């Protein structure tokens, strides 16, 4: 394997671990910060956020904090479960 190349199965396991970690953080303190060093990583985290909306049955917001991290939080005032508010997310 070269660099960050993953098989489909490895990628799915990685996303599952990310989702479990972020979900636990959201449930505990209503926010979670994750590193995102590349556009690909921000795209991956956005897709994880979409899955979290469904899993948690409530909207999750994703905001770019800086060049190296994104912040997940519960969207306040949003009425539709499964909604993703990408905020200031830049891909």
CA distance 53 to 50: 5
Closest Cα partner for 44 from 32, 35, 31, 54? Answer: 35
pLDDT at 52: 93
More confident residue, 57 or 81: 57
pLDDT exceeds 50 at position 91:
no
pLDDT single digits (tens) 22-61: 999 999 999 999 999 999 999 999 999 999 999 999 999 9
CA distance 60 to 54: 9
Contact 75, 85 (CB under 8 A): yes
pLDDT at 6: 75
Of 4-8, 34-38, 74-78, the range with the lowest mean pLDDT is 74-78
């Amino acid at each position: 394997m070269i660099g960050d190349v993953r098989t489909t199965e490895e990628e799915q396991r990685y996303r599952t671990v990310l989702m479990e970690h972020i979900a636990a953080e959201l449930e505990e303190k209503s926010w979670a910060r994750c590193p995102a060093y590349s556009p690909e990583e921000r795209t991956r985290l956005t897709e994880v956020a979409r899955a979290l909306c469904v899993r948690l049955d409530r909207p999750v917001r994703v905001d770019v904090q800086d060049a190296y991290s994104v912040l997940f939080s519960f969207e306040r005032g949003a009425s539709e479960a499964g909604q993703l508010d990408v905020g200031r997310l830049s891909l």
